[in-house]
Amino acid sequence: MWGEEGTIKFDYDSVQKAYTTMHKIYDEAAKVLEKLVQDSKNAEEKMKGQYRGAYSDKSEDIFKELKKSIENINKLSKKVEETSKDFLKQDMILADLYGKSE
């Protein structure tokens, strides 16, 4: 990870693996949340009386928070991918400039 003179060496392969893994996590988490929401609705339909309303309110709040968290994983993976591409562009520009200076 560290280059010469204490500078950080950017490792494209590691970053690509990281955002690919993050995107896989997002996909899987979204599927699990979808199933959890459906299971919760099925359970709610079977409930009776005062518990049903309280359960419904709380479960909606919880699912909204979970969905936000899952969306944040997706946003983060996209940001990491963008950053990787930006670094690659910068490296290409520097390599081009270095090639012209020789």
CATH code at position 16: 1.10.287
Whether residue 35 is contained in a domain is answered as yes
Digits of tens for pLDDT over the chain (102 positions)? Answer: 445 666 666 677 888 888 889 889 999 999 999 999 998 888 888 877 767 777 777 888 888 899 999 999 989 888 888 888 888 888 888 788 777 766
Residue 92 has a pLDDT of 82
The Cβ of residue 12 has, within 10 Å, a number of other Cβ atoms equal to 12
Residue 35 has a pLDDT of 92
Our CA angle for 7, 11, 17, nearest 5°, is: 145
Whether residue 6 is contained in a domain is answered as no
DSSP three-state, residue 81: helix
> What does the alpha-carbon distance between residue 71 and residue 28 come to, in Å, rounded to a whole number?
12
User: What domain range is 75 assigned to?
Assistant: 11-101
**Tokens matching residue 45:** 């339909």
Whether residue 26 is contained in a domain is answered as yes
If we measure between CA atoms, which residue out of 66, 85, 76 comes closest to residue 19? 76
The Cβ of residue 26 has, within 10 Å, a number of other Cβ atoms equal to 19
Residue 28 has a pLDDT of 93
Residue 68 has a pLDDT of 93
What's the number of domains the chain is made of?
1
